[in-house]
Amino acid sequence: MASEPHNIIKNNRLIKEDIIKKNYKFWRICVFISIYVIYFVSYMSRKNFSAVMQDIQDATSLKNAETGLIMSTFYITYGLGKFINGTIADRVSIKFWLPMSLIISSGLGALIPVCAAHCGTKESIFITMVLIWGLNGWFQSFAFPLCAKALTFWFCKKERGRVWSWWGTSYELGEASVGLILLPFIETFGWQFGFYLPAIISVFVCIIGFFTLQDKPQSIGLPEVEQYFGGTKEEVLNEENTPYFELLKKYIFNNKTIWILAFSFIFVNMLRGSTDWVLKIFKEVGDTRTQATIKAATVPISGVLGMLTIPIVSDKLFNGRRAPANFCYLSAAGVALLCMIGILNHGPNTLTYTEKFGLFACLAVLGAGTCGALTMIGGICSVESASKKVAAAATGFTGMAGYIGAASCSSITGYLKDAQWVKDYNITFVEFWFWAFAAFMAAALCLPLWNKHSK
């Protein structure tokens, strides 16, 4: 009889453990799918401007330099917001803020066609679009830090490289969806629908997100993820009572690794900014919208492959060292851009089948290399170089630096395409030279971290 209470306690413990296991599995799936879909849709409300850039110019008489400045405004506010809103994201609920920020940003995007139709002068159109797209960038900047926070709190370190690479495919597929999903609606209903449809989809997705998101396991009575899956709670216990600003100083402001990652990320985003212009460039050399869209979509679709190779290249090939993997990704992207210059200089409309295949292969390598490095430097590497208590702020800090590069890319590319001296010297595809330079600079900045292992 003495053993009966012991058996009851043991059975209760097993039942409780089974409930925790089932709840953890259910909510991890819900949270992952929610942040995946929301971030996917957020890209439709971000990259749609690039997809209809030529249509906006035709409707408003804006030039390349002016549309480049509009996109630069987005990147400036987005970059500043990633760090500022990242510090906010560390202390607010994912459940409310992630869906709400997307609803606001997509609603702002829907005002772009209204501006084009009702602002009287070219100057008023330009100023209003700068304000609208800049505010869109600010509210969009909540998404990545909040998603980074969710991944950090719901998945332990030993899972993070794999899970983060899966989640990272959301923004590449989201970017590809701008052409592949929005294109039929744009062709049928006009370019304005490139802004209206993402807003409609965003509202629907975010309403569901309010019910399928949770802030962190502890908020619904589950144990902390490192304790339950990783077998340790040491880091959390040691920093439980540390003031937030002290954590920022320790892990961000006084962290040499974070600063190197941030400088590298500037050039990574200069390289990535090329995706804003690829569709327009191929339309300029004679492609139809459909042909140019297929070429432009090749970059983010191939980016998915780049992200999915992260666990193989970084964890297995380089034994957990992120810098060599980043160096390989970025160098490959730079070489691909140089090869594209050689192919396109043969005459975009007179390419042989071999040259066309080579062009698509270069676009694929560009996408895989850019997105592999983007996911690691701006996400995994940043989180691993800081504490999970400041995970959102860490990704926000490197992201802020990166979007200085993205803003510079938009402005510099727009300037180079309109510059008279480029035409005088007959420099063809000068923007590709600029993007290749950015790729090799980002690769060089990976070298100081060559022997650093992931934590």
- The pLDDT of residue 238 is 57
Indicate the SS3 state at residue 321. Answer: strand
pLDDT at 237: 46
- What is the predicted pLDDT for the residue at 234? 44
Where helices occur in 45-121 by DSSP H, the ranges are 48-51, 53-60, 64-89, 94-109, 111-118
Q: Rounded CA gap, 147 and 126, in Å?
A: 32
Average pLDDT estimate for 124-153: 91
Alpha carbons 104 and 127: distance in angstroms, whole number: 20
Alpha-carbon distance of 442 to 269, in angstroms, equals 9
Q: What is the per-residue pLDDT for 3? A: 57
pLDDT of residue 11: 54
Say how far apart CA 133 and CA 144 lie, in whole Å.
18
Question: What is the rounded CA–CA span in Å between residue 123 and residue 128?
Answer: 9
- Identify the CA nearest to 175 among candidates 262, 34, 302: 302
Say which residue, 95 or 278, is predicted with more confidence.
95
Of 32 and 72, which is predicted with more confidence?
32
Q: How many CB atoms lie within 10 A of CB 419?
A: 16
Phi-psi region of 426 (alpha: psi -120 to 50; beta: other; left: phi over 0): left
Contact (CB, 8 A) for 278 and 261: no
For residue 280 the two structure tokens come to 């327009």
Distance CA 297, CA 177 (A): 8
**Residues 245-257, mean pLDDT to the nearest whole number:** 89
231 — pLDDT class (breaks 50, 70, 90): low
| Per-residue model confidence (pLDDT) at position 71 | 85
- Which of 346-364 are b and which e, b meaning 16 or more Cβ less than 10 Å from the residue's Cβ? eebeeeeeebeebbebbbb
Say what the pLDDT of residue 454 is. 62
pLDDT by residue (tens digit) across 426-439? 778 889 999 999 99
Which pLDDT score is estimated for 433? 93
Start-to-end CA distance of the chain, whole Å, equals: 50
Q: Which residues contact 28 (CB under 8 A, 6 or more apart)?
A: 154, 155
pLDDT at position 216 over 90: no
Average pLDDT over residues 337-355: 85
The percentage of residues in the chain with a pLDDT greater than 70, rounded to a whole number, is 93
Sorted by sequence, the CB contacts under 8 Å of residue 394 that are 6+ apart come out as 86, 148, 251, 252, 258, 382, 383, 385, 386
For CA atoms 441, 320, 451, 404, the dihedral sign is positive
pLDDT digits (tens, 9 = 90+) for 180-205: 788 888 888 999 999 999 999 999 99
Beta bridge pairs of residue 321: 453
**pLDDT tens for each residue of 280-316:** 888 887 888 788 888 888 888 888 888 888 888 887 8
Question: Which of 3.40.50.150, 1.20.1250.20, 1.10.150.110, 1.10.4080.10 is the CATH number of 14-449?
Answer: 1.20.1250.20
Question: How many angstroms separate the CA atoms of 429 and 334, rounded?
Answer: 14
